[in-house]
């Protein structure tokens, strides 16, 4: 049995001094790596399709559909066979193979490029390439039972936003905001978010909370202006940075019309606030415990944000701006639709989309939030809003802790939880701080367990309220 050598038994020639670079794997071994990955997965699909009894019958009908009567042939018009693989609507048909389906779910939900997104975005991402019966229901169950998502994402509450004029073309009307007071990462402690209100394309740029107006203008020119030109109008919070006389003069010189948000209400902008919450959620999911590596995740977060279908526009930001979706997966052929739509056609399409989005937003804002009710023995997540832990930044900490078991129902609005000794707070909580745990009974995947929650000693974290 091999044991790891300690400092005394380690060989003397294995010191800490730098060693000469050694070629462990010749470069020629990497030739065809992408093809091997793709071929390996398709081989698994072919093999699984051959062993699936339902697909065998389907395969025979599709192979001979030209010989079938017209009334029967139309039932198979959406099926085809390419490279020995059955397809449905030009998507690979995944048979009833548990391992294959879970591999796809993990790749299109758990990976950093996929970004641990919700039901609709995960389904859309998978549906670009694959299909199987019951896909939507399985995606919903997979996302619902993901502990990383349940732990890191908070509640969504409908908040009315002030409607701004609908933009007419990409990067003509933009929104700015800062995410500040982050743990230092490669010398940065803040993020500048810049969003195109037309396409929802965004750029996430590391910066400093102390950034002044002149520095902000330099960042804008270096990271945004070089790609998209000068915007016609901007939406930003009325903070010291955006309100500075220098930046106002810069806007005037560039013929940019500032349209500042209403004072003391940062959500009047809406787009910036929601985008900031999304960025924080992404970093919360993937950054390390010390929270000092978030800068390395920003480029992936930006790609992930722009690659997902926006619920308001019905398409990705890449599609809206460039007319195509870039490749991000080794197994994907091509790089999306390369046909860039005509400007007038796109303008009319986007106007209809924005009108529908506005009506949908008003509908959701009119819905009343339903109350929650639990029973003794239920497992719940605890919203950590009022808890102070030892992690450097609350912005990048998990939104919820747990799961914890309910031990007593105090009233219709308060419950007692079984908390570990590391959480030194009163263990009775209002129902609004609790949410049900959705357990993984279907996929039985290995969930990533976070370190225990340790509250700051000697600090009063929660106020006891009598219900």
| Phi–psi pair at 92, nearest 5 degrees | -65, 125
Q: Name the one residue in this structure whose structure tokens are 């939507």.
A: 136
Q: How confident is the model at residue 61 (pLDDT cuts 50, 70, 90)?
A: confident
Domain extent, residue 392, equals 369-467
The pLDDT of residue 392: 81
Taking each helix axis from N to C end, the angle separating 271-286 and 294-307, rounded to the nearest 10 degrees, works out to 120
Structure-block tokens of residue 247: 């930046």
Q: Is 25 contained in some domain?
A: no
Distance CA 259, CA 236 (A): 7
Task: Tell me what pLDDT residue 370 has.
Answer: 52
pLDDT at 94: 93
pLDDT band at 58 (very low <50, low <70, confident <90, very high): confident
For residue 156, is pLDDT > 60? no
Question: Pick from 152, 186, 212: which residue ends a domain?
Answer: 152
Whether residue 277 is found in the same domain as residue 312: yes
What radius of gyration do the chain's Cα atoms show? 26
Q: State pTM to two decimals.
A: 0.61
CATH number at residue 142: 1.10.340.70
The reply to whether 221 and 104 lie within a common domain is no
Separation CA 201–CA 83 (nearest Å): 36
Kindly tell me if the per-residue pLDDT of 466 is higher than 50. no
For residue 228, pLDDT over 50 is answered with yes
Mean pLDDT computed over 163-183 = 85
Distance from C-alpha of 447 to C-alpha of 147, rounded to nearest angstrom: 7
Q: Tokens for 454?
A: 């340790």
Distance CA 445, CA 449 (A): 12
52 and 117 housed in the same domain: yes
**End-of-domain residue from the set 118, 152, 186:** 152
Residue 363, pLDDT above cutoff 80: no
pLDDT score for 33: 41
Contact, 13 vs 303, CB < 8 A? no
Tell me whether residue 16 is in a domain: no
pLDDT top residue among 37 and 330: 330
Whether 181 is covered by a domain: the verdict is: yes
- Tell me: do 193 and 301 sit in the same domain: yes
Query: Token pair for residue 407?
Result: 């031990």
CATH of the domain at 427: 2.30.30
Q: Are residue 357 and residue 379 in the same domain, yes or no?
A: no
Does 417 score more than 50 pLDDT? yes
Percent of the chain with pLDDT over 70: 73
Whether residues 118 and 184 share a domain: the answer is no
Percent of the chain at pLDDT > 90 equals: 28
Confidence check: pLDDT of 249 > 70: no
The lowest-confidence range among 68-77, 234-243, 313-322 is 234-243
Strands 91-93 and 130-131, bridge-based pairing: parallel
Q: Quick check: 191 pLDDT over 80?
A: yes
The CATH number that applies at residue 246 is 3.30.420.10
Q: Determine the Cα–Cα distance for residues 279 and 120; give it in Å rounded to an integer.
A: 18
* HEC sequence for the chain: CCCCCCCCCCCCCCCCCCCCCCCCCCHHHHCCHHHHHHHHHHHHHHHHHHHCHHHHHHHHHHHCHHHCCHHHHHHHCCEEEECCEEEECCEEECCCCHHHHHHHHHHHHHCCCCCCCCHHHHHHHHHCCEECCCHHHHHHHHHHCCHHHHHHCCCCCCCCCCCCCCCCCCCCEEEEEEECCCCCECCECEEEEEEECCCCCEEEEEECCCCCHHHHHHHHHHHHHHHHCCCCEEEECCCHHHHCHHHHHHHHHCCCEEEECCCCCHHHCCHHHHHHHHHHHHHHHHCCCCCCCHHHHHHHHHHHHHHCECCCCCCEHHHHHHCCCCCCCCCCCCCCCCCCCCHHHHHHHHHHHHHHHHHHHHHHHCCCCCCCCCCCCCEEEEECCCCCECCCCCCCCCCEEEEEEEEEEEECCEEEEECCCCCCCCCEEEHHHEEECCCCCCCCCCCCCCCCCCECCCCCCCCCCCC
pLDDT of 201 > 80? The answer is yes
Would residue 29 count as lying in a domain? no
- CA atoms of 101 and 131, how far apart (whole Å): 10
pLDDT of residue 265: 39
Selected residue with higher pLDDT from 432 and 345: 432
Q: How many CB atoms lie under 10 A from the CB of residue 412?
A: 10
Q: Is residue 398 part of a domain?
A: yes
pLDDT digits (tens, 9 = 90+) for 376-391: 999 998 988 777 777 8
Q: Which tokens go with 148?
A: 């990383």
Among the candidates 332, 365, 398, a domain finishes at 365
**Average pLDDT, whole number, for the chain?**
77
With respect to residue 166, please indicate whether it lies within any of the assigned structural domains.
no
Could you tell me the sign of the dihedral formed by the alpha carbons of 163, 167, 173, 179, in that order? positive
Domain count, the chain: 3
Residue 194 has pLDDT above 90, yes or no: yes
Tell me the per-residue pLDDT of 384-412, one tens digit each, with 9 for 90 and over. Answer: 877 777 788 777 888 888 899 999 888 87
Degrees, nearest 5: CA angle 42-46-47: 115
Q: How confident is the model at residue 342 (pLDDT cuts 50, 70, 90)?
A: low
Residue 312's pLDDT is 77
List, for residues 447-463, the tens digit of each pLDDT value. Answer: 777 777 777 653 434 43
13, part of any domain: no
* 344, pLDDT greater than 80: no
Name residues whose C-beta falls within 8 Å of residue 136's C-beta, 6 or more positions apart in sequence: 123
Confidence of residue 238 (pLDDT cuts 50, 70, 90): low
């Amino acid at each position: 049995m091999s044991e790891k050598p300690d400092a005394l038994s380690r060989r003397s020639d294995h010191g800490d001094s730098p060693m000469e670079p050694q070629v462990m794997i010749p470069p020629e071994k990497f030739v065809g790596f992408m093809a091997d990955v793709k071929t390996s997965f398709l081989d698994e699909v072919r093999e699984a399709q051959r062993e699936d009894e339902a697909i065998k019958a389907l395969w025979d009908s599709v192979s001979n559909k030209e010989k079938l009567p017209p009334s029967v042939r139309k039932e198979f018009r959406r099926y085809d066979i390419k490279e020995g693989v059955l397809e449905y609507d030009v998507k690979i048909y995944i048979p009833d193979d548990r391992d294959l389906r879970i591999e796809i779910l993990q790749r299109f939900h758990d990976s950093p490029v996929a970004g641990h997104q919700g039901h609709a975005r995960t389904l859309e991402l998978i549906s670009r390439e694959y299909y199987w019966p019951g896909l939507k229901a399985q995606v919903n169950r997979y996302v619902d039972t993901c502990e990383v998502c349940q732990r890191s994402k908070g509640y969504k509450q409908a908040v009315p936003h002030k409607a701004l004029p609908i933009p007419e073309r990409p990067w003509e009307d933009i929104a700015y905001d800062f995410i500040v007071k982050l743990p230092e990462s490669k010398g940065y402690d803040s993020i500048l978010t810049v969003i195109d209100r037309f396409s929802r394309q965004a750029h996430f740029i590391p910066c400093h909370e102390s950034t002044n107006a002149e520095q902000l203008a330099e960042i804008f020119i270096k990271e945004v202006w070089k790609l998209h030109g000068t915007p016609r109008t901007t939406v930003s919070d009325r903070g010291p940075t955006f309100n500075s006389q220098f930046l106002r003069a810069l806007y005037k010189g560039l013929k940019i019309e500032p349209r500042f948000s209403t004072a003391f209400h940062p959500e009047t902008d809406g787009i910036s606030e929601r985008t900031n919450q999304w960025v924080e959620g992404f970093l919360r999911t993937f950054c390390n415990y010390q929270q000092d590596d978030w800068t390395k995740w920003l480029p992936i977060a930006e790609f992930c944000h722009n690659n997902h279908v926006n619920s308001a526009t019905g398409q990705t930001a890449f599609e809206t701006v460039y007319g195509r979706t870039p490749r991000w997966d080794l197994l994907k052929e091509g790089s999306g639709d390369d046909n860039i739509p005509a400007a007038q056609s796109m303008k009319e399409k986007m106007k209809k989309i924005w009108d529908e989005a506005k009506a949908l937003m008003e509908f959701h804002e009119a819905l009343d939030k339903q109350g929650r009710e639990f029973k003794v023995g239920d497992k719940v997540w605890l919203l950590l809003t009022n808890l102070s832990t030892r992690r450097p930044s609350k912005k990048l900490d998990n939104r919820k802790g747990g799961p914890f078991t309910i031990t007593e129902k105090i009233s219709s609005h308060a419950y007692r939880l079984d908390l570990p000794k590391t959480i030194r707070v009163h263990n009775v909580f209002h129902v609004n701080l609790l949410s049900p745990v959705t357990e993984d009974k279907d996929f039985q995947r290995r969930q990533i367990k976070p370190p225990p929650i340790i509250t700051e000693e000697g600090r009063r974290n929660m106020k006891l309220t009598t219900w």
